[in-house]
Amino acid sequence: MRLDPVATGVFVALFLLVTWLGFVAARWRKADLNVLHEWGLGGRRFGTVVTWFLLGGDLYTAYTFIAVPALVYGVGAMGFFAVPYTIMIYPVLYLVFPRLWKVAHERGHVTAADFVRDRFGSRLLALAVALTGILATMPYIALQLVGMEVVIGALGFPTAGFVGHLPLIIAFIILAAFTYTSGLRAPALIAVVKDMLIFATIFAAIVVIPAKLGGYGAIFASVPQEKLTLPSPTGASLGSYSAYWTLAFGSALALFLYPHAMTGILSASSGKVIRRNAAALSAYSFVLGLIALLGYMAIAAGVDKNPAHAAGFAQYGSNFAVPALFLDMFSSWFVGVAFAAIAIGALVPAAIMSIACANLYTRNLYKEFWKPHCTDAEEARMAKIVSLIVKIGAVAFVVAIPQRYAINLQLLGGIWIIQLLPPVLLGLFSRGFNALALLLGWAAGTLSGTYLAATQGFASSVYPLEIFGVTLPGYAALYSVLVNFLVAMALSPVLDRLLRRSGAPAAG
Amino acid sequence: MKGKKTEGGIARYWPRFLLIIPFLLVAFVPAYNRLEPALNGIPFFYWYQLAAILVGAGVVFLVYRLEVRVTHTLQRKKAELDSSGTPGDIL
């Protein structure tokens, strides 16, 4: 691959624009950034439009744009589960999270663990929530880097050795610097640019590419027939049907439990803003559906047969399908725009994720266990420093460890994060649940989920569960959170009675 | 958290039951796991799910509008009651 000067020029120019915006953001809706909820939640003042951009930029990440079409390119219809998933997330957002926002706003919570600590009065349960959040988010940040690395490689930068990682490291130093100074305001402002670039790219893609390939009919006709639908189940198994549905449903339940999603939600200015966005964010879902179809366009365009892309596919596998498609279909300057959209699409969620981890560490570990009496300024400074450490960790992860592990860990992250559903959901919508029962449920869910993933060699999160002779292949996260719920519900009344009788205080 | 009986109780939240629709649209996989009828060369499996996104968004928006209206109606009723009120209300 040779370095394309025009594409690279446009790419770098857009990147510089965004860098500038990131620093200017510190003065946007000016407030004292030495207070954690100003730095880490943008002062809870984002209205409907800013929240739309922020959550859209937060949830539809660069990795999504690369990996979803790559999955469709590789396995076909199964990769489309991302679409029913995005259909199901918005009713969940509408029903659950305005209430969480309200409680968090009234009681000054910054993280989900804050809420759990306050609601159940258990430091241990809050610790479990905080650690789960941090552990699940770290590989997610690393994956954003993977997305960015693919487009930087596709631009023609050398990819071997330390020099190969240099563009990525520079990008992350910039990211770390403006996150440090501006907090959540930076990704909120940058998300506006990112989304406009993404929308421009996708609309160009769905018009230009089918025109070049002879229309949608021709695109689908060139895809092998067996890829176009899910294979019909055989024998006593629900096969791909239950896998498809449970992947979509489990992922939808897990999404808003991720700390970065929580941060985006809590930074809204009211519950009404969240409800409106539950409808308006579907615009992104639709775009995601179109992006998924890029996988088929790449098959139709025969990107894998172009010798110029051989090195790219060798290095990045099917993740290279979309960049290769853009390189073949767009003129140089627009390739620059499209790649910048993806790279900036990595910056926004990476910034929010690192802020979310920093909030969790500072609020629920540092302040809770080491410095309960720290001042607001100390608290905010700690969070800023942690946001730096988190990013350094993510870069080190990507540079030092094979990519496959980042993907496996992200997969485990989904299984771990969904275990926060019982404490959050039951905390919001029920009265008496025993904190210790919830903690044991969390442990049971985490262990069983990890075990289910381990039986698949951590390569797939679909576990073939057998019940009464029928095999139900399904998302391990969904199965394990059921275990979690059952344990919590069964033990809660028992533990309540036991603890009351012995006169012991509640857990924690 | 402090008691679930907000004003209007269940009456205020009835539109939320409509939110089951987006789930139902994609719940039964075999129903849409097919190629025909194709739309403009796009197999059913794909255009159906893309269309379901739009319907789902429409439902959520509808629920939001309905809830705003229901809340307003309840508040107006309450206001009427208050203004017709007994002397105790004024004090």
Instruction: Assign A268 to helix, strand or coil.
Output: strand
Please give the C-alpha separations between residue A81 and each of A228, A373, A453, A470, B48, in angstroms, as whole numbers: 13, 47, 19, 23, 13
Inter-chain contact B57–A95, Cβ cutoff 8 Å? Answer: no
In the numeric block, the tokens 């139902």 are attached to B24
Instruction: Assign A475 to helix, strand or coil.
Output: strand
Query: DSSP of A328-367, one letter per residue?
Result: HHS-HHHHHHHHHHHHHHHHHHHHHHHHHHHHHHIIIIII
Please give the C-alpha separations between residue A163 and each of A70, A153, A168, A399, in angstroms, as whole numbers: 26, 12, 10, 11
Phi, psi for A466 (deg, rounded to 5): -110, 120
Of the partner residues A230, A279, A429, the one whose CB lies closest to the CB of residue B64: A279
Q: How far apart are CA A148 and CA A140, in angstroms?
A: 13
CB contacts under 8 A, A 288-307 vs B, are 289-290, 293
Phi, psi for A465 (deg, rounded to 5): -80, 135
Chain A residues with beta carbon closer than 8 angstroms to that of B19: 91, 94-95
Cis peptide before A349 (omega within 30 of 0): no
In the numeric block, the tokens 């589960």 are attached to A81
pLDDT band at B13 (very low <50, low <70, confident <90, very high): confident
Q: Residue B4: its pLDDT value, please?
A: 43
pLDDT along chain A (508 residues), means of 10: 81 89 82 81 86 87 84 89 90 91 91 91 92 90 84 81 80 87 87 89 90 89 87 76 88 90 90 90 88 91 86 85 91 90 89 90 88 84 88 82 74 90 90 88 93 83 79 87 93 84 54
Are A172 and A145 a contacting pair, CB within 8 Å? yes
Best of B4, B21, B46 to disrupt the A interface (most A CBs within 10 Å) is B46
Q: Residue B89: its pLDDT value, please?
A: 43
Residues of chain A with pLDDT > 70: what percent?
A: 97
Torsion sign over Cα A21, A377, A271, A426: positive
Phi, psi for B21 (deg, rounded to 5): -55, -50
Tokens of B19: 């939110």
Nearest-CA neighbor of A113 among A321, A241, A245, A262? A262
Tokens of A154: 């596709």
Instruction: Assign A111 to helix, strand or coil.
Output: coil
Instruction: Assign A463 to helix, strand or coil.
Output: strand
Residue in chain A nearest B51 by alpha carbon: A286
Helix A123-155 vs helix A376-400: crossing angle, to nearest 10: 50
Measured CB to CB, residues of chain B less than 8 Å from chain A are 1, 4, 16, 19-20, 22-23, 25-27, 29-30, 33-35, 38, 40-43, 45-46, 49-50, 52-54, 56-57, 59-61, 63-64, 67
CB within 8 A of A437, min separation 6: which ones? A487, A488, A489, A490, A491, A492, A494, A495, A496
**Residue B30 CB neighbour total at 10 angstroms:** 11
Q: How far apart are CA B11 and CA A176, in angstroms?
A: 49
Residue A55 contacts B where some CB pair is shorter than 8 Å: no
Chain B residues with beta carbon closer than 8 angstroms to that of A91: 19-20, 22-23, 56, 59-60
Phi, psi for A87 (deg, rounded to 5): -70, -35
Kindly report the three-state secondary structure assignment for every residue of chain B: CCCCCCCCCHHHHHHHHHHHHHHHHHHCHHHHCCCCCCECCECHHHHHHHHHHHHHHHHHHHHHHHHHHHHHHHHHHHHHHHHCCCHHHHC
Q: How far apart are CA A82 and CA A69, in angstroms?
A: 10
Tokens of A353: 């994720």
For the stretch B1-11, pLDDT in tens is 444 444 456 67
Are A350 and A145 a contacting pair, CB within 8 Å? yes
Nearest-CA neighbor of A79 among A366, A298, A289? A289
Of the partner residues A86, A220, A286, the one whose CB lies closest to the CB of residue B43: A220
Long-range contacts formed by A167-175: CB under 8 A, 24+ apart: A168/A395, A168/A398, A168/A399, A169/A395, A169/A399, A171/A15, A171/A343, A171/A347, A172/A145, A172/A350, A172/A391, A172/A394, A172/A395, A174/A15, A174/A19, A174/A22, A175/A22, A175/A347, A175/A350, A175/A351, A175/A391
DSSP3 helix / strand / coil % (chain A, rounded to 5): 80, 5, 15
Instruction: Assign A257 to helix, strand or coil.
Output: coil
Residue A283 contacts B where some CB pair is shorter than 8 Å: yes
Inter-chain contact B53–A279, Cβ cutoff 8 Å? Answer: no
CB within 8 A of A159, min separation 6: which ones? A149, A152, A153, A315
Inter-chain contact A218–B49, Cβ cutoff 8 Å? Answer: no
Are A324 and A306 a contacting pair, CB within 8 Å? yes
Helices (H) and strands (E) counted in chain A, each on its own, are 23, 2
Chain A residues with beta carbon closer than 8 angstroms to that of B23: 88, 91
User: Does residue B88 carry a pLDDT above 70?
Assistant: no
> The complex's ipTM?
0.85
Tokens of A237: 């198994």
Inter-chain contact B49–A119, Cβ cutoff 8 Å? Answer: no
For the stretch B14-72, pLDDT in tens is 888 899 999 999 888 888 888 888 888 889 999 999 999 999 999 999 999 998 888 78
Inter-chain contact B26–A228, Cβ cutoff 8 Å? Answer: no
For the stretch A434-490, pLDDT in tens is 889 999 999 999 999 999 988 887 777 888 887 777 788 888 899 999 999 999 999
User: Does residue B84 carry a pLDDT above 90?
Assistant: no
User: Does residue B90 carry a pLDDT above 50?
Assistant: no
Q: How far apart are CA A406 and CA A416, in angstroms?
A: 15
Nearest CA to CA, how far is B53 from chain A (Å)? 6
Nearest CA to CA, how far is B2 from chain A (Å)? 9
For the stretch A418-437, pLDDT in tens is 999 999 998 888 877 888 99
Residues of chain A with pLDDT > 90: what percent?
A: 25
Tokens of A428: 């919001």
Are A93 and A274 a contacting pair, CB within 8 Å? yes
Chain A residues with beta carbon closer than 8 angstroms to that of B34: 229
Its pTM stands at: 0.87
For the stretch A123-143, pLDDT in tens is 999 999 999 999 899 888 888
Distance of CA B45 to the CA centre of its chain: 26
**Residue A206 CB neighbour total at 10 angstroms:** 17
Q: Residue A424: its pLDDT value, please?
A: 92
Chain A residues with beta carbon closer than 8 angstroms to that of B59: 91
Inter-chain contact B52–A84, Cβ cutoff 8 Å? Answer: yes
Please give the C-alpha separations between residue A224 and each of A77, A83, A227, A229, A230, in angstroms, as whole numbers: 11, 21, 6, 10, 12
Q: How far apart are CA A244 and CA A250, in angstroms?
A: 10
